[in-house]
Amino acid sequence: MNVAIVGGGWAGMAAAVRAALDGHAVTVFEAARTLGGRARALAATLPDGTPVTLDNGQHILIGAYTDTLRLMRTVGVDPDTALLRLPLALGFPDGTGLALPDLPTPLDALAGILGARGWQWRDKLALLRTAHRWQRDGFACAAHTTVADLCGPLTPRLRDEFIEPLCVSALNTPAVRASGQVFLRVLQDALFGPRGGSNLLLPRTDLGTLFPEPAACWLAQHGGRVRTGCRIRHVQREAAGWRLVGDALPEDAPPVFDRVILAISATNSAQALVESSKFATEIESGHMLGWAASAQALGFEAITTVYTWQPGARLSRPMLALRSTPSAPAQFVFDRGQLGGPVGLLAWVVSASQGEREALQTAVLAQGAAQLGLTNLQPVQTVVEKRATFACTPGLQRPPHAIVPGLWACGDHCEGPYPATLEGAVRSGWAAMA
């Protein structure tokens, strides 16, 4: 087939790689000048004038992201070099918290819980009993169950210092509103899957060079094409296939395609389909508008990443958990100096963030001084992704991959077992070329 991928993010590039592996002719159209979508590189400047490459949000992977790791290897990226692998640790600056040893599953979780610093025996026993019940029930719960409901038997310390940061980092949705079923699926894969599934994989390079850019080079070597700066506004059915209508389309682009995959955000996909429905048959128009309505019904959560600089600043670990409150909003801080960046560069992550950029930045600077003693932090750049992920709530109905024959969609917002993560995006892209 002649395949068009609209969008050069992680889902779109995963779909493009699979299409090329299956022997199809592939063209990727990306509206921006850079690849990666909501996980891309970002140019910035340190306060001393030194140029630095950041990301539009600090991301992590885990060992259970098997499809992402496989595709990275396919396009020539060595995960062992590009990612720093660490046993799961949700440790706070004072040394308390959970840290799993390097043991087979589930022995690593058992040993980590029993050895958690700062937890009393009633905390540990409550978590072990609850985790055993989750495993006994096959990591399944009623569709309406929230993570807060699921974790009702746990102690307040566990809910505040373990479940809440774990939930908001995995689902980007507070526990009181997050889907218990999706949370259990992530826990099952991470803590009860193959050895190393719970490991944290911290990028040592920017997100563009972690997968999207190497994927583009790989595609070029396998006959595919990637065209940036090309915005597709809608598609039209013709006798020979699908025609793309947009801005700055290259002259060498095929006139029609056998399959088109919308690998853009849920909002942009819905807008494109509403416009495309005007040129479709009545039946196809109904399917397009139905898909668009499903996408438009999604709620969204923001993620804010505050990059700061303090010469010589170094954390005790590459990643630390923080005690988050409304006035101290960051849940995690990353030492980019230990991840290949300049020493003194830190990334503070506020998942499910609320409020304006300046207020969040000011609060994070104060939090750094109060919780880590970093009193000379200078802001470098604060990135607010207002629609970073969909709100992963109980019983959520996500739009399907198939729209009408020959027209598909992919992205972490499409139906699937995972929340809005890099793994969810990659799996969705792979599924869209099934």
Residue whose C-alpha is closest to residue 87's, from 1, 197, 181: 197
pLDDT number for residue 83 = 98
Total-model pTM = 0.95
Q: What is the DSSP code (8-state) at residue 160?
A: I
pLDDT number for residue 252 = 85
Q: What is the SS3 assignment for 338?
A: helix
CA 123 – CA 353 distance, rounded (Å): 28
2-39+208-298+397-431 has which fold? FAD/NAD(P)-binding domain (3.50.50)
> Under a CB-based contact definition with an 8 Å cutoff, are residues 68 and 422 in contact?
yes
pLDDT number for residue 192 = 83
CA 203 – CA 318 distance, rounded (Å): 11
Per-residue pLDDT of the chain (434 residues), as tens digits, is 999 999 999 999 999 999 999 999 999 999 999 999 999 999 999 999 999 999 999 999 999 999 999 999 999 999 999 999 999 999 999 999 999 999 998 899 999 999 999 999 999 999 999 999 999 999 999 999 999 999 999 999 999 999 999 999 999 999 999 999 999 999 999 888 889 999 999 999 999 999 999 999 999 999 999 999 999 999 999 999 999 999 989 888 889 999 999 999 999 999 999 999 999 999 999 999 999 999 999 999 999 999 999 999 999 999 999 999 999 999 999 999 999 999 999 999 999 999 999 999 999 999 999 999 999 999 999 999 999 999 999 999 999 999 999 999 999 999 999 999 999 999 999 999 98
pLDDT number for residue 434 = 87
CA 223 – CA 62 distance, rounded (Å): 32
CA 174 – CA 181 distance, rounded (Å): 14
Query: Where do we find the tokens 């429905």?
Result: 277
- Give alpha helix (H) positions in 192-300: 207-210, 212-221, 266-277, 282-296
Look at the alpha carbons of 207, 208, 209, 215 in this order and tell me if their dihedral is positive or negative.
positive
SS3 content of the chain, % helix, strand, coil (to 5): 35, 25, 40
> Under a CB-based contact definition with an 8 Å cutoff, are residues 68 and 61 in contact?
yes
pLDDT number for residue 296 = 97
